[in-house]
A and B are shown apart, each in its own frame.
Chain A
Amino acid sequence: MTPRAVTGVGVASALGVGREAFFASYPGGGPAGREDRRVETFDASPYPNTRLAEVPAFDATKHLGDKGLRSLDRLAKLLVVASRLALHDAGLKRDGAWTPTTRPWPERAGIVVSNAYGSLEAITELDRVAVLEDARYINPSRFPLTVSNSAAGYVSIWEDLRAANVSVSDGNCGALDAVACADVLLDQARADALLVGGAEAMSEALFLAFHRLGAMGSSGDADGPFLGEGAAILTLERTSAATARGADILAEVVGYGTSFAAPEREGALVHATPVALEQAIALALGDAGIGAKDVDVVVSGVSGQRVFDEAELLAIERTLGGEVAVFAPKRVLGETLGAGGAMGMVAAIAHLQARPQAAGAPVARTATAPQPSSAWVRGALRSATRVAVVTSVGYYGNASALVMRGASR
């Protein structure tokens, strides 16, 4: 593919709000996902030993002011905050206003954002009224939130983005697919700058679904998976356009691949397979025009869900070898579902900019064994990190991979 420049990052995760908060803690992590933190988004008392990773003390008013926020749910607030940060980080906006450049901005800027489950918060709120009282009493001002593109719609209103506004849904792979979608839109000149990434908001319904399946959040297992939330947004532009406006290029996206592999068993729906990710990585390397040995670090989607982790690590080993350094941001941030791949991209930028070392956080080479609170899985980092592969594996046989490289300076 034609390389695309990442010129800005906006992130809200268990590590806090803003890219500096992320870079300061990643990959060491901190108290994220620990069971001793009070759950902020819902009353967790019916669920003993809850373990999840919310954006701590998230307060949208700090970033957006206190007017006009009432109609937004948590998902929209997280996404608007991350989007605003990404636009400012890219220098496309200053103090809330588009910076004067050669491009007619609002009309040429859009968003492509992944989300897996929509606003379960709003849907549950309306369903409670409909089921327990009467459907005639549901709050009409909350109804628009039930469509899963409403969060991206609110970003357009708050940030004045008038080009394509695209929501994508492909479970855990959605955020990487959003990049592919954005690449196609840039390729076809449908926009000049796109906010790209993903968002997922914690809610009791979301937690309950994974809790009922026994898939997440038992505090007895320090290595076990837990749900996270947040929004990670990257500003993506044609490299030539970014260079022309003098933007600071944080990294480039240079290759992409996605694949789907059906289960062999007729009755199966959810299934873990290395096949799709092997194909996705091979396609992504081919798309980037690089070989396996060029890859310095893999930022995986490993989350602690054992069968999926095994499939993912096997695919990585088969395509990139057993020596390559593998990280798993979800060990620190939790499983953020539709945002997961975008969190992985932010982590990849941290690696490509050698931020972890600079920030004094633990480096893979010096650790003796993976720590539960660290994102390091295996392999040793090379002296310089130039190429990162970000991987995501979905629950239904889908997988995606992205190749990023450090900005040439």
Chain B
Amino acid sequence: MSPRVFVTGVGVVSSVGLGREAFFRALSSGASGISPVASFDASPLGRQNAGEVKDFDPRDHLSLGEQRRMGRCSAMALAAARMAVRDAELLPSHLVGPRTAVVLGTTMGEAQILAELEQEWILRGQKAVSRALIPRYGSTLLPIHVARALGASGMVLTLPAACAAGNYAIAFASDLIRAGRADIVVTGAAELLQELQFSGFVRLAAMAPDKCQPFDLNRQGLLLGEGAGLLILESEAHAARRGARLQAEVRSHGLSCDAYHITRPHPDAVGSTVAMRAAIERSGIAPADVDFVNAHGTGTRHNDLAEAKVVRDVFGDRRVPISSMKSMLGHCMGAASALEAIGCIFTIETGIYPPTIGYETPDPECDVEVVANVARRGKSDVVVNNSLAFGGYNAVTVFAKPGLLPPIPPPPSAEGA
């Protein structure tokens, strides 16, 4: 029997607040983290709004040495990791050693450092490229910095799975525990708001003028965001040994690839449906057991249509409540599904579905039960976290109230375990 996997701590750096309490309050009240971008001049691009994190100061969370050796993306990841460790009430002695792994998702990692290096090179030539800065670039570094700070010496791995990176990291981290290769995995994802990506989404005509309205008839696209969402995943045995508080069970997941187009989801949402069905089936439950879907919900025409189709195909006539946190946070790219996973923990703990704010006009083509504008209370035993990404990626994770469901079924292949 594979070990069961539980979430025992969460840490958040987001545009609606730092840490569990602030984040949960914001999800309850439907707060918006959207504001005009301050870190660069977005005005030539004709867009100005994003879910930029304005009140994160690395000095509040990192030692001087740490501040010097890492960029802002790693700093957000490390700050969120420390919050998650505190939330889990883990002692340093629990984390030190080879049985603790750090598996993080991101799209671009330290994109700001790369941008600085490229600017130096393009404007002032190769000899102007800063030697001190080069080693601080690389998505490899996020988990390295976190592992070093926590004393972990197991696997350190970055999964750059674009906008599904958070779910990919959680999926792989939980399988790592199930396969017996780790007791604790510090996982989740971090992403920076950065000019190149901002320009890219504008040029793809995917960015809304000022608000993100997932599933709304008049939705005009996504807004970008940034942040870090980190979770402590722990094997049942390890959590029991130290008497940890179990926040949610990570049931299982489904990963698939459309094999269709590099940016657009498949119009029939085949791959996404396969991933969601697999996630539910491998969790040992039926679609009828799912109480709430934390949607990818980017607010682009293509995404929301595809996602609504998945929900209808998987859940049939039952109108399962669905909501997109991107209406509040913007699309935090790699970090999005990690923050949304923490949103799932919020729902499981509080029985509250976070709202899709800015929802005005239902779209008959997105005929799903949107939690519109105001948070709603409801059954919250099993929650599904959906995500899609560039590359045709689909990743779905399933969380459940601890102690409620029997152990997940073993892998279908007899030889698998």
Contacts and interface: CB of A to CB of B under 8 A. Distances in A.
A304 interface: no
Contact of A167 (B131, B159, B411, B412): B159
B391 A147 contact: yes
B415 A238 contact: yes
Nearest to B65: A266
A201 B96 CA distance: 36
Given A143-B204, A238-B415, A267 B390 contact: no
A356 interface: no
A148 B179 CA distance: 27
A262 B148 contact: yes
A165 B257 contact: yes
A25 interface: no
Interface in B89-140: 98, 107-109, 114-115, 117-119, 121-123, 126, 129, 131, 134-140
B135 A146 contact: no
B172 A166 contact: yes
Nearest to A186: B416
Interface in B237-259: 255-259
Given A143-B200, A238-B415, A279-B98, A163 B257 contact: yes
A138 B203 contact: yes
Contact of A397 (B144, B154, B255, B258): B144
Nearest to B117: A209
A301 interface: no
Contacts, number: 249
A308 B139 CA distance: 21
Interface string A114-139: 01111000011011101110111011
24 contacts: A117-B138, A118-B160, A123-B118, A127-B122, A135-B45, A135-B199, A144-B263, A148-B160, A149-B162, A153-B262, A153-B392, A160-B259, A183-B179, A184-B181, A189-B413, A192-B413, A212-B134, A260-B148, A261-B153, A262-B151, A266-B65, A279-B153, A283-B98, A396-B144
B157 A181 contact: yes
A227 to B, nearest CB: 14
A241 B413 CA distance: 10
Interface string A190-208: 1010000000000001001
A156 B266 CA distance: 13
B159 A168 contact: yes
B261 interface: yes
B44 A135 contact: yes
Interface residues of A, number: 89
B168 interface: yes
Interface in B28-54: 44-45
Contacts of A262: 147-148, 151
A146 B179 contact: no
A98 interface: no
B176 interface: yes
Contacts of B413: 189, 192, 238
Contact of B256 (A164, A208, A213, A266): A164
A2 to B, nearest CB: 8
Nearest to A207: B126
B175 interface: yes
A262 to B, nearest CB: 4
A154 interface: yes
A54 interface: no
Nearest to B102: A260
Contacts of A46: 126
B70 to A, nearest CB: 8
Contact of B179 (A139, A171, A187, A260): A187
B204 A165 contact: no
B196 A149 contact: no
Interface string B367-378: 000000000000
A38 B308 CA distance: 53
Interface string A54-90: 0000000000000000010000000000000000000
A110 interface: yes
Contacts of B121: 205, 208
A140 interface: yes
A209 B413 CA distance: 46
Nearest to B104: A169
A146 B106 CA distance: 12
A152 B259 CA distance: 10
A170 interface: yes
B417 interface: yes
Interface residues of B, number: 83
A372 interface: no
B152 interface: yes
Contact of B178 (A150, A188, A269, A395): A188
B147 A138 contact: no
Contacts of A269: 69, 135-136
A295 interface: no
Interface string A310-351: 000000000000000000000000000000000000000000
Contacts of B134: 209, 212-213
A147 B390 contact: yes
A184 B203 contact: no
Nearest to B256: A162
A240 interface: yes
A177 B162 contact: no
Interface string B161-187: 110000010001001101101000000
Contacts of B181: 180, 184
Given A164-B257, A258-B155, A153 B147 contact: no
Contact of B122 (A132, A156, A181): A132
Interface in A362-402: 394-398
Contacts of B141: 396
A184 B255 CA distance: 14
Contacts of B68: 267
Contacts of A358: none
Contacts of B65: 266-267
A131 B121 CA distance: 11
B156 A260 contact: yes
Given A2-B415, A185-B175, 7 more contacts: A136-B202, A153-B390, A153-B393, A162-B259, A168-B159, A188-B411, A189-B411
A302 interface: no
